[in-house]
């Protein structure tokens, strides 16, 4: 795990140092002299060899210091911590939607094989995979934001609210303050971006649930449950689904990690003030410390989530637990 993070930090560092376009020059007014450039470079430590720069950066990161953003002149960790909750809230909501929708549709299409529900499930599964999140986002904006103006399409909460953040999760914050109107507004703002992110994942969940349910229902214990005379609903939902959920957990977990770094476009489209949007701005302004910080934090989350998924897998699968 540590090696992976090391690897990511090295790749990030090296790729970023070869980026043409000097962040220092971009900061200074055009009439700045060569002397000014050199001085500022020295101030950010960009005049040293890459290896030395990497060493210094790594030492600082080990002490929790990610440096100062060149463009925004703010502590990198602070900037990330400000925006992380927004992205996390979005991704968590999307994952919840995908799990609920996916498991429901997937299971129903196995129970009612060949019927309308089954066909709808198949169609959704392939549409979800064919239309990437940002196109879902734009489709929603056109139909639900422009043609029928039913849902808000920009930001996290109505601009009339100035929520002083406690946790950074607007849904939690507004509840903590017993501000139900604020909660409602934050909830409405979350719907479209969350659904845009969720639909591709829903497609994956439907597929996995269907294929693992098909495997599970061949098992003897399902036959036993049926022989006992249990209703089909009980057999599928209480007996089969439990085991079919194991591969789903693994895949959803991995996808969760990918989604954390994949919210960029949805955040841009919905003006969602999260990590992805900031990362793109950082790349365009060549804000090296900020990009490094964001990439490392995202990679860290990715690795941690995968670790949790492995642990969950062991927990859910007795074969491995006692093996």
Applying CB under 8 A, which residues contact another protein? Answer: 3-5, 7-8, 11-12, 15-16, 18-21, 126-127, 129-132, 134-135, 138-139, 141-142, 146, 258, 260-262, 264-265, 268-269, 276, 279-280, 283-284, 286, 291, 294-295, 298-299, 302-303
Closest CA to 76 of 272, 282, 299: 282
Nearer to another protein, 108 or 291 (CB): 291
Instruction: Supply the minimum distance, in Å, between the C-beta of residue 154 and another protein.
Output: 12
Nearer to another protein, 53 or 281 (CB): 281
Task: Extract the tokens encoding 239.
Answer: 């007996």
> Concatenated DSSP letters for 260-316?
HTS-HHHHHHTT--SHHHHHHHHHHTT-HHHHHHHHHHHHHHHHHHHHHHHHHHHHH
Interior angle at CA 251, CA 247 and CA 256, nearest 5: 145
Instruction: Supply the minimum distance, in Å, between the C-beta of residue 146 and another protein.
Output: 6
Instruction: Supply the minimum distance, in Å, between the C-beta of residue 33 and another protein.
Output: 27
Instruction: Supply the minimum distance, in Å, between the C-beta of residue 280 and another protein.
Output: 6
Q: What is the largest CA-CA distance in the chain?
A: 86
Nearer to another protein, 239 or 286 (CB): 286
Nearer to another protein, 15 or 311 (CB): 15
Instruction: Supply the minimum distance, in Å, between the C-beta of residue 262 and another protein.
Output: 5
Give the residue ranges of DSSP H helices in 168-179.
170-176
Which DSSP letter does residue 75 get?
Answer: B
Under a CB-based contact definition with an 8 Å cutoff, are residues 204 and 251 in contact? yes
Nearer to another protein, 89 or 287 (CB): 287
Closest CA to 246 of 315, 163, 176, 175: 315
Instruction: Supply the minimum distance, in Å, between the C-beta of residue 258 and another protein.
Output: 7
Output the CA torsion 136→127→90→317 (10° steps). Answer: -170
Nearer to another protein, 37 or 268 (CB): 268
Instruction: Supply the minimum distance, in Å, between the C-beta of residue 275 and another protein.
Output: 10
Nearer to another protein, 307 or 320 (CB): 307
CA distances from 219 to 21, 224, 240, 321 (A): 61, 9, 9, 20
Cα 280 to chain centroid distance, Å, stands at 15
Under a CB-based contact definition with an 8 Å cutoff, are residues 272 and 157 in contact? no
């Amino acid at each position: 795990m540590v090696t992976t993070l090391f690897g990511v930090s090295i790749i990030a560092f090296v790729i970023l140092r070869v980026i043409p376009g000097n962040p220092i020059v971009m900061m200074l007014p055009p009439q700045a002299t060569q002397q000014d450039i050199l001085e500022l470079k020295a101030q950010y430590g960009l005049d040293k060899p890459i290896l030395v720069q990497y060493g210094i950066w790594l030492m600082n990161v080990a002490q929790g210091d990610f440096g100062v953003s060149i463009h925004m002149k703010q502590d990198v960790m602070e900037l990330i911590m400000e925006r992380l909750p927004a992205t996390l809230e979005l991704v968590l909501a999307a994952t919840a939607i995908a799990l609920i929708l996916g498991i429901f549709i997937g299971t129903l299409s196995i129970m009612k094989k060949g019927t309308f529900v089954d066909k709808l499930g198949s169609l959704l599964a392939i549409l979800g995979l064919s239309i990437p999140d940002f196109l879902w986002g734009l489709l929603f904006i056109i139909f639900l934001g422009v043609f029928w103006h039913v849902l808000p399409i920009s930001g996290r909460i109505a601009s009339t609210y100035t929520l002083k953040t406690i946790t950074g999760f607007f849904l939690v914050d507004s509840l903590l303050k017993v501000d139900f109107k604020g909660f409602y507004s934050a909830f409405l703002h979350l719907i479209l971006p969350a659904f845009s992110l969720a639909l591709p994942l829903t497609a994956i969940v439907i597929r996995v649930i269907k294929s693992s349910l098909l495997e599970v229902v061949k098992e003897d214990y399902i036959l036993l449950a049926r022989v006992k005379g249990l209703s089909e609903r009980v057999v599928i939902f209480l007996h089969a689904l439990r085991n079919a959920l194991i591969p789903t957990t693994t895949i959803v977990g991995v996808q969760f990690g990918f989604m954390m770094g994949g919210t960029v476009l949805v955040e841009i489209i919905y003006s969602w003030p999260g990590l992805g949007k900031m990362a793109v701005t950082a790349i365009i302004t060549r804000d090296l410390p900020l990009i490094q910080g964001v990439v490392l934090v995202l990679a860290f989350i990715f690795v941690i989530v995968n670790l949790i998924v492995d642990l969950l897998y062991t927990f859910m699968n007795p074969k491995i637990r006692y093996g």
